[in-house]
Chain A
Amino acid sequence: MKRLIIIFVVVLLTAFFLAAPGPISAGDKYQELINCDLHAGPCTHTLGGVEVTLEVTPKPIKAMQDLSFKITLTGKLPTAPKAPYIDLGMPGMKMGPNRVQLKSAGNDAYEGRGVIVRCPSGRRIWRATVIIPAVGQADFIFDVIY
């Protein structure tokens, strides 16, 4: 009986240790990849001679709600550019294809709607890859509120 109790306590502690948030959890492993605080405001990355600005609303950015994605391009753009699009994913974990199609909103701005889904693993770091045909792609890595 005593042995059983010891085994059960060890099992319980191991489970809590593995599931605990903080530096030991898998979620934090990707924390250092964050290159953008979209909760505070739009983020800009430079791609060749093009500045790509991403804004997501409403703020703060929460998972499992309808979000509006806006891309603004400035700089050397190709003539008759195709509309960019955004692929949403998680660094280090396959979440399936989640594409946000964007439509022109005038003045080299594009808008579309999408949803960032919730991962039961508790990981909150997400990546929005903005793909601009004939120009390239820019990764915006940010955290999401669950």
Chain B
Amino acid sequence: MLSTDTLYLLYLSAGFTVGFGHCVGMCGPIVVTFSLNLKKRSILVPQLLYHLGRITTYAILGGVVAAAGSFTMVAAHIERLQKGVMVFAGALIVLLGLAMAGWLPIGRIFGDHSSPGRWISKGFGKLLKLKSTMVYLPLGLLLGLLPCGPVYTALLGSARAGMETDSVYRGMLAGMGLMGAFGMGTVPALFLVAKLADMGWLKSRALIYKAGAVLMIIAGIIFIIKAVRF
């Protein structure tokens, strides 16, 4: 059996390699969407908050599977929730893409004068505009639940590590630590993708910006289709 320190390092490096080999393709559209949506604002804090939220969710899931000692049991319980999160992520990408291209009159649809359910309209408007940097933290917490093969694999290992400890509490901590390490490993690849989408020349050209918005809409619809099939 590997020592805990070695396991943490293994999970960190697994996250790093999987980040470049998998996450960039699967979750890249999400971080690119956030980057493009931030326009001229710095992406550093919002992206870090998003990743912090995502890693926190991974750690919680790691703790739960390790304490339960079963990956399949926990996975079966959260399957529907994950499907919902995937639909939400797709819808969010589509809406932000439409808003970016200027095809979604957010003001008219979600504005203060849209009478019934005014607070809901306001809330959606805020979320869509993402004016508040802090909104990226709950988004990360929620999107950390997205169904993902490598995350499942890491959770599988966390469940095993949990089973090999002498108490549920220690197992839970081990699971949380391992998933936290895995999540941290995935950050560089996704951050790099977000940074590439943040290049000034890209955002300053209206046509490229609009093309990016169209690609986002396509990616969002694909997310939704995949969620329905999941």
Contact = CB atoms under 8 A, between A and B. Distances in A.
Interface of A: 4, 7, 11-12, 14-16, 18-19, 64-66, 90, 93-98, 115, 117-122
B84 interface: no
Contacts of B182: 96
Given A115-B71, A118-B147, A16 B153 contact: no
7 A-B pairs closest in CB distance: A94-B21, A15-B221, A117-B152, A96-B153, A119-B149, A96-B150, A19-B225
A120 B148 contact: yes
B61 interface: no
Among A4, A16, A95, A119: residue with most chain B CB under 10 A: A95
A64 B14 contact: no
Given A96-B149, A120-B227, 7 more contacts: A15-B219, A15-B225, A16-B221, A95-B149, A115-B152, A118-B230, A120-B149
B18 interface: yes
Nearest to B17: A94
B226 A120 contact: yes
B75 interface: yes
B149 A90 contact: yes
Which label, helix, strand, loop or mixed, suits the secondary structure of the B interface?
Answer: helix
Nearest to B15: A96
B175 to A, nearest CB: 15
Contact of B22 (A19, A93, A97, A122): A93
Interface in B139-182: 146-150, 152-154, 156-157, 182
A14 to B, nearest CB: 5
B221 A98 contact: no
Given A64-B75, A94-B150, A96-B154, A11 B221 contact: yes
Given A7-B214, A95-B22, A115-B72, A120 B86 contact: yes
11 contacts: A15-B219, A18-B218, A19-B221, A64-B76, A95-B149, A97-B157, A117-B152, A120-B26, A120-B146, A121-B26, A122-B226
A65 B73 CA distance: 9
Contacts of A65: 72
Given A93-B22, A96-B14, A122 B156 contact: no
A120 B147 contact: yes
Contact of B153 (A11, A14, A97, A122): A97
Contacts of A94: 17-18, 21-22, 150
Contact of B214 (A11, A64, A66, A121): A11
A14 B26 CA distance: 18
B99 interface: no
Given A15-B222, A97-B14, A117 B153 contact: yes
A16 B74 CA distance: 32
A15 B218 contact: yes
Given A120-B26, A120-B147, A120-B148, A93 B21 contact: yes
